């Protein structure tokens, strides 16, 4: 097994960064396995009932929370060699990382167990291409590097991308090398099929 997919929380009550899951993260790191974090339900359903907000807002929000917990609960510090893909473009956190860095600088309680600026840990994650707009994908590539972006489809759901390769090709300014990384090269490398 080269990797596995997990949800953003355990039974809606426990974070995937819970200390009791440290043996899991240690083994994942030891094996060099790739983890894909995909949203699995929503913990704030009351305000998300209308307008398909459960899908269009809650999925990236849940991805954001899971990623933030992995950073601020110290999982990324304790296990620096983890390979984690966060779907839905990584949620909202990659686009608003300045806020977590500012909080880290401004508040001692935010720095507990987090010796590096939070965005330094965020740069270790990988994000899929499910952001729907070329400029959003270009932002991820420019900010985190093409080597941290991977093709996503969200297949077979209605919010999926029917032609993800066309989407990647529609991003202005990407080189062929970047397109190759995003469209399969990164996945092959992270799964251990290539160097």
Per-residue pLDDT at 55 exceeds 90: no
Per-residue pLDDT at 2 exceeds 70: yes
For residues 109 and 59, is the Cβ–Cβ distance under 8 A? no
Check residue 56 and give its pLDDT.
Answer: 87
Residue 89 lies in a domain: no
pLDDT digits (tens, 9 = 90+) for 60-98: 999 999 999 999 999 999 999 999 999 999 999 999 999
pLDDT, average across residues 21-26: 98
23 and 105 assigned to the same domain: yes
Check residue 29 and give its pLDDT.
Answer: 97
pLDDT digits (tens, 9 = 90+) for 107-125: 999 999 999 999 999 999 9
Give this prediction's pTM. Answer: 0.94
Q: Which helix (H) or strand (E) holds 5?
A: strand 3-6
13 and 102 assigned to the same domain: yes
Check residue 45 and give its pLDDT.
Answer: 67
53 and 141 assigned to the same domain: no
108 and 134 assigned to the same domain: no
User: How many domains, in total, are found in the chain?
Assistant: 2
Degrees to nearest 5, angle at CA 106 with 102 and 111: 90
- 155 — pLDDT class (breaks 50, 70, 90): confident
Q: Where are the alpha helices (DSSP H) in 58-175?
A: 58-72, 75-78, 97-106, 108-111, 118-122, 134-144, 164-169
């Amino acid at each position: 097994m080269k990797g596995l997919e997990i949800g953003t929380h355990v039974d809606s009550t426990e974070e995937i960064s819970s200390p009791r899951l440290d043996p899991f993260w240690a083994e994942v790191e030891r094996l060099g396995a790739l983890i894909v974090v995909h949203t699995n339900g929503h913990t704030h359903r009351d305000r998300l009932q209308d307008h398909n907000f459960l899908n269009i807002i809650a999925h990236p929000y849940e991805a954001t929370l899971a990623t933030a917990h992995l950073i601020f609960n110290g999982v990324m510090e304790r296990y620096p060699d983890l390979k984690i893909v966060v779907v839905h473009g990584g949620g909202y956190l990659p686009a608003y990382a300045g806020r977590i860095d500012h909080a880290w600088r401004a508040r001692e309680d935010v720095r507990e167990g987090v010796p590096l600026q939070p965005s330094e840990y965020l740069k270790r994650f990988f994000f899929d291409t499910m952001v729907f707009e070329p400029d959003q994908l270009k932002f991820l590539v420019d900010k985190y590097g093409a080597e941290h972006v991977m093709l996503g489809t969200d297949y077979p759901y209605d919010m999926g991308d029917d032609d993800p390769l066309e989407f990647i090709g529609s991003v202005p300014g990407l080189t062929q090398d970047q397109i190759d990384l995003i469209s399969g090269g990164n996945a092959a490398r992270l799964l251990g099929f290539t160097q």
